[in-house]
Amino acid sequence: MQIRDMNWMDVERQVAADDRCILPIGSTEQHAQLSLCVDAILAEKVSVDAAEPLGIPVYPVMPYGLAPYFAAYPGTVTLRVETLLAVVRDIIASLARTGFRRILIVNGHGGNAPVGALATELLLDHPDLSIKFHNWWNAPRTVAKVQEIDPSGSHANWMENFAWTRLAHAPAPNPDPPKPTPDLGSLKAAAPEKVRALLGDGAFGGDYQKPDADMDAVWQIGVQEVREALENPWPIRS
């Protein structure tokens, strides 16, 4: 279930019966021909698909994250580290005030890694909470399936090209051979304008699209790993 489909009385009844919830976080940044909101779309959908059979509420996705390296691409939004952490800290405090005690943060964007450290820090401030941080896209079995299909899976290429991240007016190009992989080491030390010059359309190389059957296989594993994070033990110290 999604919080947007609930009122406050629904939430009050829900938290009295089950104190678990999900907070998805993503990013709004260039993804070549795919939606700028890929990371937010995927984080929210994988959370909803995983939580639905369990009746666990999913909060609206946090659509902005840390993406300074893509700042030269129009449409990209990037926060300061302290801004993102402050927002997540305030959200967690609000969820705790509501009565949620087991909170799963489902992350769809690699740049949001500092939130994982914050989740651990918050356990010191809230000993009555259990907070898990889950990168759905690089959970063990999801990564293994991506590697099995094609080790080139990466940013803005086939690995993020699902039916729900495609834009009807911007079909995926199909270069032959596939787009070469850029020097990712150079990207790490480059200013945003240099990153755009190195990446061109923004994809990290490889194929732009795979058969939907392959993508469904990746997705089902990703959903299952999020569901397992919800169902597995949640240690709470007090």
The number of folded domains in the chain is 1
Range of the domain at 160: 3-231
Q: Is 21 within the bounds of a domain?
A: yes
Find where tokens 């902005």 sit: 64
Quick one: which of 50, 59, 49 has its CA closest to 87? 59
Residue 108 within any structural domain of the chain: yes
In a domain, 178, yes or no: yes
7-29 pLDDT per residue, tens: 999 999 999 999 999 999 999 99
Nearest CA to 54 among 25, 24, 23, 18? Answer: 18
The reply to whether 236 falls in a domain is: no
112 lies in some domain: yes
Give a yes or no: residue 238 inside a domain.
Answer: no
Q: Is residue 199 part of a domain?
A: yes
Alpha-carbon distances, residue 4 vs 66, 91, 94, 97, 216 (angstroms): 25, 16, 16, 18, 26
Tens digit of each residue's pLDDT, the chain (238 residues): 999 999 999 999 999 999 999 999 999 999 999 999 999 999 999 999 999 999 999 999 999 999 999 999 999 999 999 999 999 999 999 999 999 999 999 999 999 999 999 999 999 888 899 999 999 999 999 999 999 999 999 999 999 999 999 999 999 888 888 999 888 888 888 999 999 999 999 999 999 999 999 999 999 999 999 999 999 999 877 6
Q: How would you classify the pairing of strands 20-25 and 130-135?
A: unpaired
> What CATH number is attached to the domain comprising 15?
3.40.50.10310
Does the residue 237 lie in any domain? no
Strand 102-107 and strand 130-135: the pairing is parallel
Cβ-based neighbours of 235, under 8 Å, separated by 6 or more: 130
